[in-house]
Amino acid sequence: MTGKPVALVTGSSSGIGAAVARRMAAEGLAVVVNAVRSAEAGQELAASLPDARFVRADVSDETEARQLVEQVVAEYGRLDLLVNNAGVTQPIPHADLDAVTGDVWRTILGLNVVGTWQTTVAAVPWLRRSPGGGHVVNISSVAGTRPAGSSIPYAVSKAAVDHMTRLLAGALGPDIRVNAVAPGLIDTPWTQGFTEIRARVEATTPLRRVGTPEDVAEAVAGLQRAAYTTGEVVLVDGGAHLLI
């Protein structure tokens, strides 16, 4: 069993997840990097961090989510922080209702909502044993708060994650805190093609810039240190939520 606290960051081979993994390592945590498709990138990231491992798993699959947590505990003997970052979207104009099939709903909700739930449930027995108190941080989106987002199913999934965060915070205290970080437009491989949205963010939001993965990682680190905070959804969007 390691003496360090241990963080599991799902969907962490690139973008926000990778930034969170790097920040948690810098904060002194042992880190488990996870991905399902980008295994090579995940392995490279883990190799670049002290006391880190990579575990491939699809958290939308209940068995794989459970086995992921089991592998973390088998390796380190503990789990102190779970960051549910794994997610998926499909850009679809909100007015194009016909394009939103049942399969689109199942794919997006299956990872963003059900995957978050399954991984959290698997982690709870171990988070309860964390000497400093366990912590779950869900990566949501400003689309869960405002009528925006890459598609209606994506926005609905993030609204569900926000409410799940509050419900779990009430259910799991005092042993486990549950919070969420809700980014706005963040400069990641996912958003490279969002030229029009990027220009609008840079022109209209109070901070006049697109966010970085490190901005989100900073919020996660802040919540990890905020021992008297639970059930919060922290917006990291440059003030986009202030716009009508």
Q: What is the pLDDT of residues 87-100, one digit of tens each?
A: 999 999 999 999 99
Structure confidence at residue 49 (pLDDT): 97
Handedness of CA 6, 8, 13, 15 (dihedral sign): negative
Task: Clarify whether 76 is annotated catalytic.
Answer: no
pTM: 0.95
Beta bridge partners of 138: 84, 180
What phi-psi label fits residue 216: left (phi over 0), alpha (psi between -120 and 50 degrees) or beta?
alpha
Q: Where are the domains of the chain?
A: 6-236
Q: 199-227: per-residue pLDDT in tens?
A: 888 888 999 999 999 999 999 999 999 99
User: Which pLDDT score, from 0 to 100, does residue 244 have?
Assistant: 61
The band of 235, judged by pLDDT with boundaries at 50, 70 and 90, is very high
Q: 180: helix, coil or strand?
A: strand
Residue 1 in this model has a pLDDT that exceeds 70: no
Q: Is 103 exposed, middle or buried (0-12, 13-18, 19+ CB in 10 A)?
A: exposed
Inform me whether the pLDDT recorded for 150 exceeds 80: yes
151-178 residue pLDDT tens: 999 999 999 999 999 999 999 999 999 9
Q: Is 176 helix (H, G, I), strand (E, B) or coil?
A: strand
Residue 110: C-alpha distances to residues 61, 75, 159, 177 (Å): 9, 27, 14, 24
Q: What is the CATH number of domain 6-236?
A: 3.40.50.720
Q: Choosing from 154, 165, 188, 217, which is the catalytic residue?
A: 154
Mean pLDDT of the chain: 95
